[in-house]
Amino acid sequence: MNVLGIDIGGTGIKGAPVDTRTGELLEERLRVPTPQPSSPETVAEVVASIAGHFGWNGPVGVTFPGVVVDGVVKTAANVDHAWVGVDAARLFGGATVLNDADAAGLAEVRFGRGRGQRGTVLVLTFGTGIGSALFTDGVLLPNTELGHLRLHGRDAEHRASARAREEHELSWEEWAERVEEYLRYVEMLFTPSLIVVGGGASKKAHKFLPHIRLDTPVAPAALQNQAGIIGAAHAAAGPPAG
Ligand code: BGC
């Protein structure tokens, strides 16, 4: 099935049509800067313009960087708080809407690094915040929000996200130390068989992953920045037939 996947991030809104059987992008993705403020109205305009760009009338899947239950936004840590309580599925014209990290995780588990991996797989995205997607034997437990676990009395994402590295001007090694501490914490809680590291930072995995020592295997995401688009489309396509 062909589905338009749209990934809403703190700095960019990206979209492309996806073949949900293969997870491949059917056209070059379009990226539009996230409007500021990123209110529901301004973001909905961008989402509509991306659909317009691809001349799209078919099914649409959209990610959102907060808790989403039945299409309704419940939290908005890194975007305009006006989103809380908004029925995003309705706002986006009946699209399937899900958490951004859950979408990225679905794509990694279906088509990327977590493919065929049994047991507990944790996909963590390091970007503006830290997103999490938790799977057991390929089944997602949605909205886990592990970026908000407390470390040293603060939200872990304030210490160990990619944004924290930039804001605190940390070297890759210094940042890796913080990421390792965070990963040890989630490892202690879930004993995963694999941790997949995604999000913006995954493009630079070779700079920090070699500094990280953990009992659990830690692998960079295979789909990197396209995971959100692919996962959103995959979620909108529903469970595979058969
Ligand atoms: C949000 C999550 C989101 C993550 C990555 C966190 O601040 O609470 O819902 O998945 O950032 O965008």
Q: Is the pLDDT of residue 239 over 80?
A: no
Q: Cα of 127 to ligand 1 centre, how many Å?
A: 9
**Considering the chain, what is the average pLDDT of its residues?**
96
Q: Cα of 216 to ligand 1 centre, how many Å?
A: 23
Q: What is the C-alpha separation between 233 and 3, in angstroms, rounded? A: 5
Could you tell me if 221 and 104 are in contact, meaning their C-beta atoms sit under 8 angstroms apart?
A: yes
Q: Is the pLDDT of residue 10 over 90?
A: no
Q: Could you read off the pLDDT of 69-113 as tens digits, one per residue?
A: 999 999 998 899 999 999 999 999 999 999 999 999 999 999 999
Domain count, the chain: 2
- pLDDT score of 238: 87
Q: Could you read off the pLDDT of 199-221 as tens digits, one per residue?
A: 988 889 999 999 999 999 999 99
Q: What is the C-alpha separation between 222 and 197, in angstroms, rounded? A: 9
Question: Is any atom of ligand 1 closer than 6 Å to the C-beta of 78?
Answer: yes
Tokens for 112? 């990327």
In terms of domains, do 197 and 233 share one?
Answer: no
Q: Return the CATH number at 120.
A: 3.30.420.40
Residue 133 domain-assigned?
A: yes
**Confidence class of residue 242 from pLDDT cuts 50, 70 and 90?**
very low
**Would you give the distance in Å from CA 34 to the centre of its chain?**
16
- Structural domain harbouring 169: 104-224
- pLDDT score of 202: 87
Pocket test for ligand 1, best of 7, 68, 130 (most atoms within 8 A of CB): 130
Q: Could you read off the pLDDT of 114-153 as tens digits, one per residue?
A: 999 999 999 999 999 999 999 999 999 999 999 999 999 9
Residue 242 domain-assigned?
A: no
Could you tell me if 223 and 230 are in contact, meaning their C-beta atoms sit under 8 angstroms apart?
A: yes
In terms of domains, do 123 and 190 share one?
Answer: yes
In terms of domains, do 156 and 202 share one?
Answer: yes
In terms of domains, do 109 and 201 share one?
Answer: yes
